[in-house]
Amino acid sequence: MVRKKNFDRALAGTILMLAWPTIIEQALQTVVMYVDSAMVGRISAEASAAVGITATVGWLLNAIFFAAGVGCLACISRAVGAGDERTAKVASVQSVILTLILGVSVGLVAMAVSGPLPGWLGAEPDIQKDASAYFFIAFLPMLFRAAVIIFGSVLRATGDMRTPMLVNAGMNGINIVLNYLFIYETRPVSLFGFSFTAWGAGLGVAGAAIATAISFVIGGVVMTLALWRSQRGVSPAGERIRIDRPIMATCVRIGLPNAMERATVNLGQIVFTMLVARLGTIAVAAHTIALTAEEAFFVPALGFQAAATTLSGQTLGEGNERKLDDLIHLAVKIIVAISTVTGLLLFIFPNVMMALFTIDPQVIAQGTSVLRIVSVSEPFLGATFVLEGVFNGVGDTKAPFVIATLTTWGIRILFTHICVNFLGMGLNAVWVCMVADVIVKCIVMFWRYRSGGYKRGLVFERPLCREEARA
């Protein structure tokens, strides 16, 4: 059982110090997502649906890179905590190899499925062409996406949260400017009392995709340079780029269950989207925009998750079990308090959030209703993020995979299928099923934490990834 703990201000300060750059990074990404959705939403509900219908597949593809990043982060953070700079550097080289292999292979798959994908997802015929074009263009620079995600994880493993934040902030700024130029046609603009003609390409949905693609190319190049110039012992500069079997095996062993978890959840999201698509274009637009609106309210949880992942890996490397227990207790306690407040705000102002992205009254009405429903799950979602971050940091990635599979498919998909196809229920029922999934998943994850199951097999004696992999 977990012992009763007192509030540790120093540890809380460390958690907050690592969390805040990721919170800002995620907040900036959310702002850009808001701007994207608002700009596209001003075109039409059909344009919003065209962008949103393939979003879950994009999450699935990105999940592969995030999983690889988790494997590298767990290995490197543990080595950093143990003071093993050589293992950290060699693990960084493995991240380069994974980026090249996964970036190219996943990119080829994305290009191959872009044409028929919207039809597979159940999109209505009038949006399929725009949806295919958006997906193809936005995910064309897949190698650069991989670099942004995986190399960002490597830097975070050392405690460098600031560099990924700055790189993503730059990407977001570029994306907003290019959106403005590429989506709309040339038009007169009044700003601060001055009137001028603003050039625009008038490309609509395709313009939003081009802006996204260019921002990822720039971000990938800058993140790669940041890793090569890192002064924290993980720069691959001067190293031979070759596979180190023991360390690569450790990264893959930790990352593979995480990849399976993300794949399972995202495949579930794809099926989920297909079920929502049966409710019509208005429902798809409301669903997509509401998901986007909600993201702002769990941004703090993402920051605490990143901090928990890094600190738990480093603490395991230090061999300090008591500090690990205190870390989890504090991080969960703080994020539940914060998420309770954000959930309350989401419940009070859902109509304001929806109005940021669309002027369609039907879309706003449906989105407002489902946002109030999901607001009650925010504290559960925050706790789940932090616990999963800890489990990933110590290398316990199998249990989250099993838990996510059971709740996603056994609760969210099964009951959504029943509600939509057998009971003829609408979008509100779909989101109730989603909330049930979140709450049950949190309860099971918390039980694993309280029972100490995530510690089984861990050795609190400054373990090194290279030695562990060869054992």
Note the pLDDT tens digit of each residue in 51-101. Answer: 777 877 887 888 899 889 989 988 898 888 888 889 999 999 999 999 999
- Segment 399-416, tens digit of pLDDT: 899 999 999 999 999 999
Mean per-residue pLDDT, 309-315: 89
Interval 151-181: pLDDT, tens: 999 999 998 989 998 998 899 889 888 988 8
Percent of the chain whose predicted confidence (pLDDT) is above 70: 92
Answer whether residue 260 shows pLDDT above 70. yes
pLDDT at 295: 82
Closest to 377 measured CA to CA, from 332, 432, 309? 432
pLDDT digits (tens, 9 = 90+) for 174-199: 988 898 889 888 877 776 677 777 77
> Average of pLDDT values for 204-213?
89
436 vs 129, residue with greater confidence? 436
Domain ranges of the chain: 9-470
At 365-397, the pLDDT tens digits run 999 999 999 999 999 999 999 999 999 988 888
The CB-side HSE value for 96 (13 A sphere, CA atoms) comes to 22
The residues that bridge with 197 in the sheet, in sequence order, are 188
Q: Are 82 and 459 in contact (CB under 8 A)?
A: no
SS (H, E, C) the chain: CCCCCCCCHHHHHHHHHHHHHHHHHHHHHHHHHHHHHHHHHCCCHHHHHHHHCCHHHHHHHHHHHHHHHHHHHHHHHHHHHHCCHHHHHHHHHHHHHHHHHHHHHHHHHHHHHCCCHHHHCCCCHHHHHHHHHHHHHHCCCHHHHHHHHHHHHHHHHCCCCHHHHHHHHHHHHHHHHHHHHHHCEEEEEEECCEEEEEEEECCCHHHHHHHHHHHHHHHHHHHHHHHHCCCCCCCCCCCCCCCCHHHHHHHHHHHHHHHHHHHHHHHHHHHHHHHHHCCCHHHHHHHHHHHHHHHHHHHHHHHHHHHHHHHHHHHHHHCCHHHHHHHHHHHHHHHHHHHHHHHHHHHHCHHHHHHCCCCCHHHHHHHHHHHHHHHCCHHHHHHHHHHHHHHHHCCCCHHHHHHHHHHHHHHHHHHHHHHHHHCCCCHHHHHHHHHHHHHHHHHHHHHHHHHCHHHCCCCCCCCCHHHHHHC
Rounded to two decimals, the pTM is 0.78
Residue 97 and residue 90: Cα distance in Å, rounded?
11
Residue 249 has pLDDT above 50, yes or no: yes
pLDDT on residue 149: 93
pLDDT tens readout for residues 214-234 = 999 999 999 999 999 998 889
Query: What is the structure's pLDDT at 391?
Result: 93
Higher pLDDT pick, 311 / 40: 311
Contact criterion met (CB below 8 Å) for 92 and 238: no
Statement: residue 462 has pLDDT above 70:
no
Within 10 angstroms of residue 142's Cβ, the number of other Cβ atoms is 26
With contact defined as beta carbons under 8 Å apart, do 289 and 281 qualify?
no
Which comes out higher in pLDDT, residue 39 or 331? 331
Q: Report the amino acid identity of residue 261.
A: E
pLDDT value for 471: 46
Here the tokens at position 38 are 């608002």
CA distance 342 to 346: 6
The pLDDT score that the predictor gives to residue 457 is 63
Q: Does residue 2 surpass a pLDDT of 60? A: no
Predicted local distance difference test score (pLDDT) of residue 338: 95
- Is the distance from CB of 22 to CB of 344 less than 8 angstroms? no
Q: What is the predicted pLDDT for the residue at 466?
A: 47
**Predicted confidence band at 5 (pLDDT cuts at 50, 70, 90)?**
low
